[in-house]
Structure 1
Amino acid sequence: MRKVADFEKIWGLSDNSWALLGDNNGNQILPLWPEKEFAQLCAVEQWKEYKPESIELDNFIQKWIPGMMNDKTLVNVFLTPDAKGTVISPDDLNSDLQDELEL
């Protein structure tokens, strides 16, 4: 969270649409990273044509988080190439980001 707050950007993978995951419960999960290089490491297999794309933090907080909450999309924070990461709700991500921005 500190890197995202410091650089005021968050990164996803895009190829005319955003890379998404799914889980066994039918949830959509948006993977996000604190830096371009980490997103690039996951641009393999089904996402090999995807490129890292930044999202300005203000835009993410004001538009993306409410949209994900409305769509019931979860977030995978810091997905790794071996499919590890932390899945959280957009509301929890917003709370964590707000806490970090206050420091």
Structure 2
Amino acid sequence: MSTLYTEDEMTAILTMTDEDLLEYFLFRIAEMDEVCGLKQGPHWITREIKEQHTLPVWPFKSFAAMTAIDEWQHLKPVAESIEFFMYRILNKQIEQGVMIEIMPRKTGAGCLISPQRLLNYLEDMRDSSECMVGD
């Protein structure tokens, strides 16, 4: 899919609060119908932040690619459907106790959210859009 962000958006993202970052992420993945991450071989990568394992995710493959530098330069940006992400990736993270890290920043961690809470948000978004289509 094509990227639908502007240079102004990129600048704004750098200063967003965690709440704003979460809202932006949810809006964009709903629009694109995909969630992006970085893979090493067949596995999405995780990293440790303050003794907590996290799974970094982005709304655009190009955002993930921009972070594939330094120790991540060998990683491959990937995009998965929201459905696959919800029921395969998030469920696995719930089982393993891994937090979701939304859009890591150059200056530090992205917005940290439990996989169960993110799954609940995504299911609510899906349910509300299904209601709107039938109305």
Pick the TM interval, shorter chain.
0.7 to 0.9
| AA of the residue aligned to 2:122 | L
User: Do 1:40 and 1:52's aligned partners in 2 also have CA atoms closer than 8 Å?
Assistant: yes
Instruction: Flag structure 2 segments of 5+ consecutive residues without an equivalent.
Output: 1-25, 130-135
Tell me which stretches of 4 or more aligned residues in structure 1 moved more than 4 Å: none
Counterpart among 49, 53, 61 of residue 23 in structure 1:
49
Residue of structure 2 in register with 1:75 after alignment: 100
Residue of structure 2 in register with 1:98 after alignment: 123
Note the C-alpha offset of 1:39: 0.7
In percent, how many aligned pairs have the same letter? 23
TM-score (norm 2): 0.69
After superposition, the C-alpha distances for 1:4-26 in whole angstroms (9 at most, x for unaligned) are 1122110001121322110223x
Note the C-alpha offset of 1:3: 1.1
User: Do 1:41 and 1:81's aligned partners in 2 also have CA atoms closer than 8 Å?
Assistant: no
Instruction: Flag structure 1 segments of 5+ consecutive residues without an equivalent.
Output: none
The answer to whether 1:66 aligns with 2:91 is: yes
CA RMSD of aligned residues (A): 1.5
Distance 2:46 2:70 in 1: 13
Greater RCO, 1 or 2 (C-alpha within 8 Å, sep 6+): 1
TM-score (norm 1): 0.88
Count of residue pairs the alignment pairs up:
102
Kindly indicate which of the two structures has a greater share of residues assigned to helix: 2
Radius of gyration: which is bigger? 2
| AA of the residue aligned to 1:85 | G
Distance 1:52 1:14 in 2: 6
The answer to whether 1:57 aligns with 2:82 is: yes
Residue of structure 1 in register with 2:62 after alignment: 37
